[in-house]
Structure 1
Amino acid sequence: MDNKDNFGLEKDHDALLVQDLEDSLQFYREIMGFKEIYNAGLGEKFKWVKASNDVQIHLIESTEKPQKNKGVHLAFNTPNLDDFIALLRNKNVPFENSKGTPDTTNTRPDGVKQIYFQDPDGYWIEVNNSKLEDF
């Protein structure tokens, strides 16, 4: 098999350890606009949500507290970044640019505008206004 096509791999899901499962579920549904989906029968300590492109996040209730670092983050794009920023402000969710300046965006050298914020467990999330095309 030739791996130049990445074996047809596509993003399926990320799994996050969370302290308060219901609080995290509410954040991903109300702030991120994700839909809750069936959790494969894994029980009450697991909640699954999915983005509009069907990529999933599996929320797993745990007492473990992983280290959070902005360099390790979830990233999403939207053609409506300004509207998304308005939602964050309306819901009192603080955001910042890549350097940590509150309530502002930054623009990468390729012209993509981005923001960063944290979910209830401190995981960093980037939202930007474009996805890169193949080069």
Structure 2
Amino acid sequence: MTFELDHIALSVKEVDLSVNFYKTVFGLQSIKNTASNSKTQWLALTDTKQIHLIPRPELEVKTNKAVHFALGTPNFEAFIAHLKHLAIYYSDWRDTKKKDYVRDDGVQQIYFQDPDGYWIEVNNAI
């Protein structure tokens, strides 16, 4: 058997706020929710991968940095400049603010949170 990532689904308090965040931060585009007529919003991450934002107004997210999803970009420094322009707080793994971290394998990475508190890692692994 083989597997590949299909989508990331996140429960969010305010779907419009989260859609705006992912569009602004990552430049994602809305796509049709082909699964149902619900208020769940789908965003295209790549041609074949999506982020699904599921409205849950009563949501209370309890997570930590070890529970995160990671996105890679070849434009790591430009992305950091973009976060600074948006005034989005980011840190390294140890929570040193405005600091990237270089792993033992040479990959640079940063961490930040979305409006619901989900942790996101962005790295230059690709």
TM-score by length of 1: 0.87
Report percent identity of matched pairs. 42
1:36 and 2:30 matched = yes
1:26 and 2:20 matched = yes
Counterpart Cα distance in 1 of 2:112 and 2:62 = 16
Specify whether residues 111 and 53 from structure 1 end up closer, same or farther in structure 2 by C-alpha distance, changes over 3 A only: farther
Q: Choose 1 or 2 for highest CA Rg.
A: 1
1:17 and 2:11 matched = yes
Counterpart Cα distance in 2 of 1:64 and 1:42 = 21
Structure 1 contact 105–113 (Cα < 8 Å) conserved: yes
1:122 and 2:117 matched = yes
**Dislocated runs of 4+, deviation >2 Å:** 41-45
Gaps of 5+ in 2: none
Gaps of 5+ in 1: 1-6
| Matched residue SS, 2:37 | coil
AA partner of residue 81 (structure 1): F
Structure 1 contact 77–129 (Cα < 8 Å) conserved: yes
Structure 1 contact 47–60 (Cα < 8 Å) conserved: yes
| Matched residue SS, 1:68 | coil
Choose the corresponding residue for 1:93, options 82, 88, 96.
88
| Matched residue SS, 2:83 | helix
Counterpart Cα distance in 2 of 1:27 and 1:43 = 22
Counterpart Cα distance in 1 of 2:82 and 2:33 = 28
Counterpart Cα distance in 2 of 1:60 and 1:80 = 29
TM-score by length of 2: 0.93
Q: Which residue matches 2:108?
A: 113
How many residues align? The count is 125
